[in-house]
Amino acid sequence: MSLLLEGKRAFITGGTRGIGAALCQVFAREGADVAFNYNSRDDLAQEVMGVIEALGRRARSFKISVTDRFGLKHLTRELVQDWGGLDILVNNAAINRGDNFATTTDRAWDEVIGTNVGSLFAVTKPIYKQMIRQRVGSILNITSIGAIRALPTAVHYATSKAAMIGFTKCLSREAGTFGIKVNAIAAGIFDTDLAQALPERWLQMHDFWTSSGRLGRPEELAEFAAFMVSDRNSFMNGEVVIVDGGTVT
Ligand SMILES: NC(=O)c1ccc[n+]([C@@H]2O[C@H](COP(=O)([O-])OP(=O)(O)OC[C@H]3O[C@@H](n4cnc5c(N)ncnc54)[C@H](OP(=O)(O)O)[C@@H]3O)[C@@H](O)[C@H]2O)c1
């Protein structure tokens, strides 16, 4: 059997750390050329590029914010010129701030909503238009169980991740008519920098309420994501799949 993503061209947002870095590695191992963007860490970007290339795939990295509409249009044009098209987009990059709602500042609210929701439009639109031209494509959005369950996470973050679910479901209707799939994974708690910022008590509670009794490893999410965006997952559209180690609640 061929590799899951043989010959595919993928763009992953936030590829330098955590789940994004695992997505880059697993997608490349499964045969995809992988481009990704990031915000700050040039050293990590070089490392991830090296991992992709060591797997024999083409790699590109872009230091550009997921909110930079103009830059992302330009980036898409450049990638399509170089690679001839784009088959897969993963909207992965996001931020969180450990806030109570009552003490959330205007700035923190705007930052989280602006990044996590604003990026859906800024990143997806130019790539979606290219996928329409191709009449094929797969878009995967990484949301959170915090958008679905009443968990003690920050309200701005949960709100932004819930927006991602509406985005997934509604866009899938329009996209389906062009042969494009739009799905989402609602992630439980995975061992990344973002999760390590959660209160210690929260992490202990997590290990108790999940049947697997531990945090997820980023590559565990990436393995499932590779199947979700592959052609072998041919009859799923507008779906949100929970990958959380088996929640008891
Ligand atoms: N970890 C979890 O437990 C968990 C649970 C549920 C959902 N999720 C979701 O999974 C996704 C990945 O989370 P993670 O834990 O892997 O996060 P992470 O470890 O904090 O990594 C975030 C990545 O996004 C990039 N990024 C952040 N803001 C950006 C911006 N404005 N423009 C471009 N890149 C930006 C970061 O790049 P720099 O290093 O350059 O800043 C980094 O590569 C997120 O959507 C998150 O909401 C995670």
The residues, ordered by sequence, that sit 6+ positions from 167 with a Cβ below 8 Å of its Cβ are: 120, 141
Residue-wise pLDDT for 70-122, tens only, equals 999 999 999 999 999 999 999 999 999 988 999 999 999 999 999 999 999 99
151 CA from centroid of ligand 1 (Å): 19
177 CA from centroid of ligand 1 (Å): 31
Give the Cα separation of 135 and 42 in Å (integer). Answer: 34
Cβ-contact 5, 227 below 8 angstroms: no
Per-residue b/e over 179-210, b at no fewer than 16 CB within 10 Å? ebbbbbbbbbbbbbebbeebeeeeeeebeeeb
Cβ-contact 3, 26 below 8 angstroms: no
The residues, ordered by sequence, that sit 6+ positions from 70 with a Cβ below 8 Å of its Cβ are: none
Q: Determine the topology of domain 9-243 in CATH.
A: Rossmann fold (3.40.50)
- Of 27, 36, 157, 167, the catalytic one is 157
3-state secondary structure (DSSP) of residue 184: strand
Give the Cα separation of 81 and 94 in Å (integer). Answer: 27
Average pLDDT over residues 187-196: 92
Active site (annotated) includes residue 157 = yes
User: What is the domain partition of the chain in residue ranges?
Assistant: 9-243
Confidence (pTM): 0.98
Residue from 11, 12, 13, 39 to probe ligand 1 pocket by mutation (most atoms less than 8 Å from CB) = 39
107 CA from centroid of ligand 1 (Å): 19
User: Which residues does a 6 A CB cutoff place in the pocket of ligand 1?
Assistant: 13-20, 37-41, 65-67, 92-95, 115, 142, 144, 187, 189-190, 192-195
**Atom 34 in ligand 1: residue holding the nearest Cα:** 38
Average pLDDT over residues 127-143: 98
Give the Cα separation of 197 and 49 in Å (integer). Answer: 26
pLDDT band at 249 (very low <50, low <70, confident <90, very high): low
